[in-house]
Structure formats: structure tokens, C-alpha cells
């Protein structure tokens, strides 16, 4: 059901392109400008590559690389020149685009943010990564929830970022809010290859939802990202998979949101997204709609605590060179001299 990678597009099909972008090194404003221009050129490549493509997706860290540099001078803003360039690229090439930015945050570490722009240059989705890859990543935890938008052909689309996808609750939230396609952008390196593959499949199957997933690719001289563009159908089968690790390859496939809708309505066996809230409906009318899960009850009450919590050794970023935080989530940091001047 991938229409030869989207070459043969059905009336209800949505063609997605996943860019296995070469991992960059970005240190200065000039580097940032050059990488922005490179991404813009690849939007044009995507359109030239496949005239039927509806949405082109760039991986996490496409603009900034994997240095974890939090220098405010190379952080982005929604009204900044980088996002403006992406908007223009989508207009010029008549294509939807999904992009990654490290977003300036005056109250703490930057946000790791993802955006989707439509073919008219309008910002349609704005998401901040909920689960930074601790202890390695310093990013502020996201505070916008998981938005779901109406994309090409009316498809309901959500975006999560990298480590988010290791939490089944994230994919479930996307589906619960109506997403038929869940995009997962990442910068993962080779040690995560197997868990990347099976979580992309399980996120799809457990929620009757297409997942479209892509990592950075190649080496920056220090890190080696793996590409691994994957489009997975709602039944968990892999529709397209970039296994060669070739940088800048665009993995494409047609997906069918209309068949996702059909399955969610008509499936009985393994309609897990429905059955989760209707336990045992064969035995009891409507099924059990309670919440029997202790971890959910405790999290909602602000009392989440593992039986082995006191024994966990890594609980901050000091092992990766970041100072132990002193403020709680939602609290502002004290402005330093440079920020005060800004």
C-alpha cells in the first residue's frame, strides 16, 4: 500500500517524504544560515524528486546538529529568519514541511521544538519535545501538550520528537486526540537502532495509526546518526524503510488515512485504542471504563514514585557535564547579564 513510494497516488492517498539529512556541525550564526539554506534546497529537491509528495519531513537536529550547544546566538524563534525561510520554501515548492528548531527560552534552557508549515506558508503545528533524552539533552521539557492538526487530504497529524516515541503513552495520546498519522523526528545514533524499529511498529499497531519516522544520517566527525527513515502502516507492517544509511536520501511512501479511519471503526479484534477504555465489553455492557493503572493514578495525583526510586543513580545531567538544576518545572531562571541586555 505504498504506491511504489508514492509514484502511483490514489485519490485518498497522502505521500510522505522522510529526509535522512546529513548530520551537520553548527557553531556560529554563519553556520546556522548555511544549514538553513541547505534545508531549503532539500525542500526543493523533495518536490523535484516526487511531484506527488504532500509532506516532506526533516529530522530532529536538522538545523543545529548534535552538539547540544545552548548558545543563545544560534537559538531560533518562531518569528526568526530560519522559520521565515522554511515558510517561503513551502510556498515556493507548494509542499507541506515538518522542521526542527532549538527554540530560545528566556526562562531556562532552550526548547527542542518541531513545526509543521503548510503549502501556503502558514504555521499549522507547533510542538515542544515532552521527553528530552536525559541525561544527555539539556532541553526544557515541553509544556504545550501534543497538538493534532488537519493536514493534506484532511489527514489528522501529530508530531512527537525522538525519545518521546519510547513512551507508549505519547503515541496513545496522539491517537486519543484523533491523529491518523504520527510523525516522529529524531537524531538517534546507531545503538538505538533496534529499539527505534520496534517502537515505530508498536506505536502504529497499538493505536491503529500510521507512523512516519526519520533520524539524522551520517557523521559529523564525532557522532554517527543512522537515517532509518520508516513509514509503518496502522497494522504494524513496514511500508518503507531506509536501511542503507545513505545521507540525504528521501524515503517515500503513500499512506491512507481513510483506511485508518475504516479500521478504527470496523475492527473488533485488536482495536486496542478503543478497547483500552472499554475493558471486557463482551462480558459487561460498554466495557469497564475505570482507570485500574496505579502509575496513572499516582502521576495524576503528583505522587509518581517507583518501588526502586531511591536506588536510581542518574537523576540529573551532571554525568554529561550539565550543572544540577535548582529550579522546578515552570519556574523562571534568574536572567544573566547577556540576557538582561537583550
| Catalytic site residue from 90, 98, 103, 129 | 129
CA–CA gap between residue 73 and residue 263 (Å, rounded)? 48
CA–CA gap between residue 304 and residue 168 (Å, rounded)? 17
CA–CA gap between residue 191 and residue 188 (Å, rounded)? 8
Residue 311 is among the residues annotated as catalytic for this protein: no
Give the Å distances, CA to CA, from 335 to 38, 78, 108.
34, 21, 9
Whether 52 and 6 have beta carbons less than 8 Å apart is answered as yes
Whether 98 and 62 have beta carbons less than 8 Å apart is answered as no
The set of residues, in sequence order, having a beta carbon less than 8 Å from that of 225 and lying 6+ positions away, is 23, 59, 66, 187, 188, 189, 215, 216, 217, 218, 219
CA–CA gap between residue 342 and residue 326 (Å, rounded)? 24
CA–CA gap between residue 35 and residue 23 (Å, rounded)? 10
Residue 333 is among the residues annotated as catalytic for this protein: no
CA–CA gap between residue 34 and residue 168 (Å, rounded)? 37
Dihedral sign computed on CA atoms, order 272, 276, 282, 285: negative
Residue with cell 517502537: 199
| Catalytic site residue from 60, 82, 173, 180 | 60
Residue 129 is among the residues annotated as catalytic for this protein: yes
| Catalytic site residue from 76, 90, 98, 162 | 162
Give the Å distances, CA to CA, from 140 to 74, 104, 127, 128, 133.
16, 10, 13, 9, 11
Whether 116 and 90 have beta carbons less than 8 Å apart is answered as no
Point out the residues that are catalytic. 60, 129, 162
Amino acid at each position: 500500500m505504498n504506491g511504489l513510494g508514492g509514484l502511483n497516488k490514489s485519490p485518498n492517498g497522502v505521500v510522505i517524504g522522510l529526509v535522512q539529512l546529513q548530520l551537520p556541525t553548527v557553531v556560529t550564526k554563519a553556520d546556522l544560515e548555511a544549514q538553513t539554506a541547505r534545508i531549503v534546497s532539500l525542500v526543493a529537491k523533495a518536490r523535484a524528486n516526487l511531484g506527488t509528495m504532500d509532506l516532506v519531513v526533516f529530522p530532529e537536529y536538522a538545523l543545529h546538529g548534535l552538539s547540544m550547544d545552548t548558545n543563545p546566538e544560534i537559538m531560533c524563534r518562531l518569528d526568526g529568519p530560519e522559520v521565515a525561510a522554511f515558510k517561503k520554501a513551502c510556498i515556493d515548492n507548494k509542499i507541506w514541511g515538518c522542521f526542527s528548531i532549538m527554540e530560545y527560552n528566556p526562562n531556562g534552557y532552550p526548547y527542542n521544538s518541531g513545526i509543521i508549515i503548510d503549502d501556503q506558508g502558514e504555521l499549522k503545528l507547533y510542538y515542544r519535545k515532552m521527553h528530552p533524552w536525559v541525561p544527555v539533552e539539556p532541553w526544557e521539557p515541553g509544556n504545550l501538550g501534543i497538538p493534532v492538526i488537519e493536514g493534506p487530504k484532511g489527514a489528522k497529524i501529530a508530531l512527537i520528537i525522538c525519545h518521546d516515541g519510547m513512551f507508549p503513552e505519547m503515541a496513545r495520546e496522539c491517537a486519543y486526540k484523533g491523529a491518523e498519522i504520527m510523525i516522529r523526528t529524531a537524531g538517534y545514533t546507531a545503538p538505538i537502532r533496534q529499539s527505534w524499529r520496534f517502537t515505530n511498529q508498536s506505536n502504529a499497531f497499538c493505536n491503529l495509526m500510521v507512523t512516519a519516522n526519520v533520524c539524522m544520517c551520517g557523521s559529523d566527525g564525532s557522532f554517527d546518526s543512522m537515517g532509518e527513515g520508516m513509514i509503518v502502516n496502522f497494522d504494524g507492517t513496514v511500508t518503507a524503510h531506509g536501511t542503507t544509511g545513505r545521507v540525504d536520501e528521501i524515503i517515500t511512501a503513500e499512506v491512507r488515512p481513510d483506511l485508518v479511519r475504516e479500521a478504527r471503526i470496523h475492527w473488533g479484534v485488536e482495536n486496542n485504542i478503543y478497547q483500552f477504555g472499554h475493558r471486557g465489553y463482551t462480558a459487561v455492557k460498554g466495557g469497564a471504563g475505570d482507570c485500574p493503572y496505579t502509575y496513572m493514578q499516582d502521576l495524576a495525583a503528583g505522587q509518581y514514585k517507583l518501588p526502586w526510586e531511591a536506588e536510581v543513580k542518574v537523576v540529573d545531567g551532571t554525568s554529561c557535564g550539565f550543572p544540577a538544576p535548582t529550579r522546578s518545572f515552570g519556574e523562571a531562571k534568574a536572567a544573566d547579564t547577556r540576557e538582561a541586555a537583550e
